[in-house]
Amino acid sequence: GAVVSQHPSWVICKSGTSVKIECRSLDFQATTMFWYRQFPKQSLMLMATSNEGSKATYEQGVEKDKFLINHASLTLSTLTVTSAHPEDSSFYICSARGDRIYEQYFGPGTRLTVT
């Protein structure tokens, strides 16, 4: 099956700093990538949808100036958490979709801890 990687797998940063998380599709072209946030023992919440070469579409309640998403190529999307605060600590998961519209392939996730 298709493989999606995320880097880093975990990161600790200080409050006020910015953190960048990468999501890569390793063996297919991802025309659309999704970014999710998962709190402990809770479901995945979609944060934004990005199409290659276009601006991301953010879900209601997600601050676009805080969670910057870039999808500059068909194999790479990045999520930058700007001016991170402890409440941004969470598990961030990306998924990618190629030409099979209903099939999304998920990355292993990135654990962000803001101290």
Partner 1 sequence: GDSVTQMEGPVTLSEEAFLTINCTYTATGYPSLFWYVQYPGEGLQLLLKATKADDKGSNKGFEATYRKETTSFHLEKGSVQVSDSAVYFCALSDPGGTSYGKLTFGQGTILTVHP
* Binding stretches for partner 1 (CB under 8 A): 1, 4, 6, 32, 34, 41-44, 46, 49, 57, 93, 95, 97, 101-109
Quick one: 10 or 115, whose CB is closer to partner 1? 10
Q: Look-up: residue for tokens 């995320």?
A: 6
Q: How far is the CB of 59 from partner 1 (least distance, A)?
A: 8
> Smaller CB distance to partner 1: residue 60 or 86?
60
Considering the complex, what minimum distance in angstroms separates the CB of residue 56 from partner 1?
Answer: 12
Shortest CA distance to 23 belongs to which of 66, 80, 61? 80
Nearer to partner 1, 64 or 85 (CB): 64
Cα→Cα distances 24→3, 54, 64, 73, 109, Å: 8, 17, 21, 10, 12
Q: Which two tokens stand for residue 11?
A: 């990161």
Distances in Å between the Cα of 13 and the Cα atoms of 5, 23, 28, 66 are 21, 19, 32, 15
Shortest Å distance, C-beta 17 to partner 1? 26
Q: How far is the CB of 85 from partner 1 (least distance, A)?
A: 25
